[in-house]
Amino acid sequence: MTAASKKKPAPPTGPLRCESPLSDLPRITPAKLRALREAGLVTVHDLLRHYPRRHEDRKKFPSFPRAAGPDPLCLRGTVTTTKASYFGRRMQFTLTLTENSRQVPAATVQCRWFNLRYLPKILATGQDLIIHGRPRALKKGGVVFDHPDFEVLQSDAPDSALIHLNRITPVHPSIGPWSPRMLRRLLFETLAQLPDEDIPQLWPLPPVASPSPATNPLTTANALRTIHFPSSWEELEAARAHLAREELFEMQCVLARQRARQVGGQAPVIPRQSPLLAKFLKALPFDLTAAQKRVLTRIFDDLATGHPMNRLLHGDVGSGKTVVAATAMLGAVAAGHSAALMAPTQVLAHQHYENLRKLFEPLGIPVVLRTAARKEKSDANGPRVVIGTHALLFAPQTVGRPALVVIDEQHKFGVRQRAKLSAQEPHPHVLVMSATPIPRTLALTLYGDLDLSLLDEMPPGRVPVRTLVRPHDKLAEAADFVHRQLDEGRQAYLVYPLIEESTRTSLKAATAEYERWTKLLAPHRCALLHGKLKADEKDDIMNSFRAGETRVLVSTTVIEVGIDVANATVLLVENAERFGLAQLHQLRGRVGRGAEKSWCILLAGEDAAEKLDRLQILEQATDGFAIAEADLAIRGPGDLLGTAQTGLPPVRLAKLPQDLPLLEEAREQARQLLADDPALTDHPALRTRLAYWEKQLFAGVA
Ligand code: ADP
Ligand code: MG
Read off the pLDDT of residues 17-67 as tens digits, 9 standing for 90 and up: 888 999 999 889 999 999 999 998 999 999 999 999 999 999 889 999 999
437 lines ligand 1 (CB under 6 A): no
Q: What confidence category does residue 372 fall into, taking pLDDT thresholds of 50, 70 and 90?
A: low
CA-nearest residue, atom 15 of ligand 1: 320
How far is it, in rounded angstroms, from Cα 592 to Cα 129? 60
Atom 10 (ligand 1): residue with closest C-alpha?
A: 318
Contact 284, 238 (CB under 8 A): no
For residue 455, give the ligand 1 atom closest to its CA. 2
Half-sphere exposure of 141 (CA within 13 A, CB side): 0
Q: What's the pLDDT tens digit per position in 595-629?
A: 789 999 999 887 776 778 888 889 988 888 788 77
Q: Please say if the pLDDT value at position 513 is more than 70.
A: yes
Phi-psi region of 318 (alpha: psi -120 to 50; beta: other; left: phi over 0): left
Does the C-beta of 322 come closer than 6 Å to ligand 1? yes
Query: Is ligand 1 within 6 A of the CB of residue 590?
Result: no
- Ligand 2 centre to CA of 368 (Å) is 19
pLDDT at residue 570 above 90? yes
Q: What is the pLDDT of residue 68?
A: 93
Backbone φ, ψ for residue 49 (5° rounding): -90, 5
564 lines ligand 1 (CB under 6 A): yes
Nearest CA to ligand 1 atom 24: 459
Cis before 217? omega within 30: yes
Task: Judge whether residue 505 has pLDDT over 80.
Answer: no
Answer whether residue 4 shows pLDDT above 50.
Answer: no
For the cut 50, the answer to whether the pLDDT of residue 518 exceeds it is yes
User: Between 601 and 393, whose confidence is greater?
Assistant: 601
pLDDT in the model for residue 233: 94
CA–centroid distance, 200 to ligand 2, in Å, is: 46
For residue 284, the ligand closest to its alpha carbon is: 1
Mean pLDDT of the chain, nearest integer: 84
Q: What digits encode the pLDDT tens for the residues 76-124? A: 999 999 999 998 888 999 999 999 988 888 999 999 999 989 999 999 9
Q: Which atom of ligand 1 is least distant from the CA of 323?
A: 6
Spell out the long-range contacts of 687-692 with Cβ–Cβ below 8 A and sequence spacing 24 or more. Answer: 689/202, 689/250, 689/649, 690/250, 690/253, 690/254, 690/257
Nearest ligand for residue 317 CA: 1
Other residues' Cβ atoms within 10 Å of the Cβ of residue 657? 16
Q: In what helix (H) or strand (E) does residue 21 lie, and over which residues does it extend?
A: none
- Strand-pairing partners, residue 529, are 555
Centroid of ligand 1 to alpha carbon of 497 (angstroms): 27
What are the tens digits of pLDDT across the range 297-332? Answer: 999 999 999 999 999 998 887 889 999 999 999 999
- From first CA to last CA, the distance across the chain in angstroms is 48
Q: What is the pLDDT of residue 702?
A: 43
Ligand 1 pocket check for 317: Cβ under 6 Å? yes
CA dist., res. 322 & res. 353, Å (int): 11
Please list the residues that pair with 526 across neighbouring strands.
Answer: 552
**This prediction's pTM:** 0.72
Where would I find the H helices in 287-377? 290-303, 321-334, 346-360
